[in-house]
A and B are shown apart, each in its own frame.
Chain A
């Protein structure tokens, strides 16, 4: 009786959801971030529903199985635009984004009230290495070290520290592809000594990102500058959301997301920028590291390059933009904080260009080379840049390293259009107003 009462009360909790992002899953993530009845959590231990959002490529299925099995009982799964594994019973597939929050809530509620059984484990219940019965106490090791106590070796790989040369244990592990602070799909093999990164090797590149359809249209025919600039600003604001979320500025990250969703030519960045500066983000948070040198910045292109002082922007060659008096804005830092200042400046500039262009009805001119929010696209779309992380992350403190990743738009741009959304859905994603360009 008491248990029933407890479960009934528990079913009123906002559904705690751990999102596993497949391709284009980040759209669902941003939609859920603004849904009041959903609580997105950072660790599967804190969730009762595992959301698999989008198609998960085959090379990430093994990690997905691992994460699936890491949710404590009782738990269930929900599949968004992805076919549930056949042996999972009583799990739903949802395809419409607007149905997602309700479906997640329902899953959590049914789980709590006992209408739905907890999910089954997929991986077999075996330790990573056999150890039982070995060693003096059956703990799997000999004496103080050696062997595989409790199924895993002890950290014994004494390496010299790259900063002070002390010889202590380093910890090597593979992180991702479903780690919240990484771009969707990225995985890396990391060696830490203390909380300093000793080596970083990106193993799985993040999924290519699909930009707004307007960037693909702009490669076919001239498009209104107002429209393309709003899409650019929206892209940057969505990235800002992820970074501010990581920095612990929950309220500001949601403001940024709301601004992105309701973006129109009458939007202004002033309020958000003021609050961000006043919060001390540029002084307190982990924005110290992540310096790109000129060569890396050039390789990267786009806002990251302009933040390092390279005034390269394909828009300055476009006759349409020249009519609007466009000239690229730059910073001269090249680090995390310079990149975020650059992003804020570029969003502001985009909004201004959009306003002017809407008034004068200016269209883009060049179609064979356009500047995407990720970087220049002349012959090839911007390519994946996750290899740069291997160079710049070693030596950084853990928080600085993750803030650096968040500040870089490393994913490649898919050369297929982002126009796969139905109009109704794009309205849902963009908070009702969408691209307000007449």
Chain B
């Protein structure tokens, strides 16, 4: 009883946290290679070698950082990713925590991610990191609404805020077809949450690494792992909300789920490689003026669809 309800779910989440982050690193290298980045050595070894190097490198300090916040931010981001992974259902019964309000919980993870990323930029007490943190808040406050409307959209036909119910409601037709605007909008949220690729406003090149510009060694390792794990958690949520989760013919549920998560990850990583980093001002305008009204339309569409 204790074993199956406590120990196994926790183990499952921790396993996903590490394996997921590793898979993201390998996939990203492979995609970069396919786009012409020079490749050397074994791709599967590279993330581990990088991890080992960061463990041997000393952690940097700044003149007067907010020590607690600075060390807490990467760990908190990792914890948020773990919570995200915990609500992802792998099959009808295989869910780490099958909360009745898991959609709300995921929404709070998205909102808290903004806080944590800002904290990471602010606590270093260094100029470039600080700009990265404040810039990210502009993005974080813009994507959060889009995400909420899109997620409420998938909750409507399910009549529930539980991810397992959301998946079950897609028995007849996946939400990706039923609510065609939903998934593309949600993918943008995923890039925003992990400040990946075009939405990398927090750790950008023009800030020499932004919120991560002053960190090195183990804190940087935790930060990178957390970011990759968050991408995995997001792809799990996206697969459950839009791609019918564990449902599919022939193969067992968890395998379907893994395939769908990989597909979402691939799309996200591809987008990260082909798009330029968006200018902050354009980003905010685009989010509020174009994408947010689109998410309204998505919600109304989903509502009418749920009634018919």
Q: Is the CB of B280 within 8 A of A9?
A: no
Tell me the count of chain A residues lying within 8 A, CB to CB, of chain B.
63
Q: A250-B32, A279-B275, A397-B281 are in contact. Are A46 and B56 (CB under 8 A)?
A: no
> Does A143 touch B at the CB level, under 8 Å?
no
State A255–B257 Cα separation when bound (angstroms).
36
Cβ of B127 and Cβ of A171 under 8 Å apart?
Answer: yes
The answer to whether B53 has its CB under 8 Å from any CB of chain A is yes
Task: Give the residues in chain B near A248, CB-CB below 8 Å.
Answer: 197-198, 200, 204-205, 275-277
A43 in contact (CB, < 8 A): yes
Contacting B at CB under 8 A, from A371-409, are 397-400, 402-403
Closest beta carbon of chain A to B68's beta carbon, Å? 16
B37, CB-defined interface residue at 8 Å: yes
Query: A-facing mask of B128-145, CB < 8 A → 1, else 0?
Result: 000100110000000000
In the complex, A44 Cα to B197 Cα: how many Å?
22
Interface assignment of B215: CB less than 8 Å from any CB of chain A: yes
| Proximity string of chain A (46-65) to chain B, C-beta cutoff 8 Å, 1 when within and 0 when not | 10100000000000000000
Shortest A346–chain B CB gap in Å is 21
- Tell me whether A195 and B53 are in contact (CB under 8 A): no
Within 8 A of B (CB), among A56-108: 72-74
- Given contacts A10-B53, A74-B57, A398-B131, whether A42 and B209 have CB atoms under 8 Å apart is yes
- In the complex, the chain B residue whose C-beta lies closest to that of A195 is B131
Given contacts A35-B38, A36-B38, A43-B208, contact A112 B53 (CB under 8 A): yes
B52–A45 contact, CB under 8 A? no
Contact call B279/A246, Cβ cutoff below 8 A = no
Residue on B nearest A71 in the bound complex, by CB:
B216
Determine whether A6 belongs to the interface, using a CB cutoff of 8 Å to chain B: yes
Docked complex Cα distance between A338 and B121 (Å): 34
Which residues in window 214-255 of B have CB below 8 A to A? 214-217, 220
B53–A194 touching, CB < 8 Å: no
Among A148-156, A157-165, A299-307, the stretch that binds chain B is A148-156
**CB of A267, distance to nearest CB on chain B (Å):** 16
Give the docked Cα–Cα distance between A43 and B32 (Å): 21
Q: What's the Cα separation between A41 and B134 when bound, in Å?
A: 23
- Of A199-207, A284-292, A429-437, the one contacting chain B is A284-292
Q: Which residues of B come within 8 Å of A, CB atoms?
A: 32, 35-41, 45-46, 48-50, 52-53, 55-60, 63-64, 127, 131, 134-135, 197-198, 200, 204-209, 212-217, 220, 273-282
Q: Which 7 A-B pairs have the closest CB atoms?
A: A36-B40, A248-B277, A251-B35, A150-B64, A36-B38, A9-B52, A10-B53
Residues of A at the B interface (CB closer than 8 Å) are 3, 6-7, 9-14, 16, 34-37, 41-43, 45-46, 48, 72-74, 112, 127-128, 149-152, 171, 173, 179-181, 192, 194-195, 244-251, 254-255, 258, 279-281, 284-288, 397-400, 402-403
